[in-house]
Chains A and B, each alone.
Chain A
Amino acid sequence: MATGAKLKTKVPARPARPLWLVYLVAWLVPGGGHLWLGRRHKGLVFLLVLPAMFGIGLALRGRLFPFEPAEPLVALAAVADVGVGAAYALAKLAGLGAGVAGAVTYEYGNAFLITAGLLNTLVMIDAHDIALGRK
């Protein structure tokens, strides 16, 4: 390494909006982060599809899993469920998502609920990249 040479480091541009707030909005309202950041088309798709997916999961009698550290798979499913944001809290408050294990559609419901939460987590990461100016 040459001595005295100035090291050029890339300093990322400071995001126009606080990142934690982008995360919070994107988590609470699927697509909310994108709408706030001016990506209207993407935001609208996420706003329509992800709550619909969550609603279908509930209608199919899927279960919103509880946080049970003793059962790691159940706890992981709970973390995925929470990813959908405010809809999760509203469903819990309304007493929905108890799950009917005997229902034919129970596993399908779980797949819809878990996937909605996981997809919203990806959407949050995308909003993070947009806020940082990477996309």
Chain B
Amino acid sequence: MPIHSHVLLMVVFAALVASVGGVLLKDERRAQVQSGATIFASLIGSAFVVGWLLYFLPL
């Protein structure tokens, strides 16, 4: 597959996990969208936070 963008793959992964998680956790459509958006933002946000923390670690 010619996709080598790590960020794009991370976003696709987060979107798929968030859509399943949101639908799984809630029963009403609006709540599902909200829950999915929260999961998506959490995944992307935590990836950036952990990424920057690792950047400063002398490995």
Contacts and interface: CB of A to CB of B under 8 A. Distances in A.
A119 B16 CA distance: 10
Q: How extensive is the interface on chain A, given as a class?
A: 20 to 34
A104 interface: yes
A53 interface: yes
A123 interface: yes
25 contacts: A41-B23, A42-B24, A45-B20, A46-B20, A49-B16, A49-B19, A49-B20, A53-B16, A56-B16, A60-B1, A60-B3, A60-B9, A104-B4, A105-B1, A105-B4, A105-B9, A108-B6, A108-B13, A111-B13, A112-B13, A112-B16, A115-B17, A119-B20, A122-B24, A123-B20
Interface of B: 1, 3-4, 6, 9, 12-13, 16-17, 19-21, 23-24, 27, 29
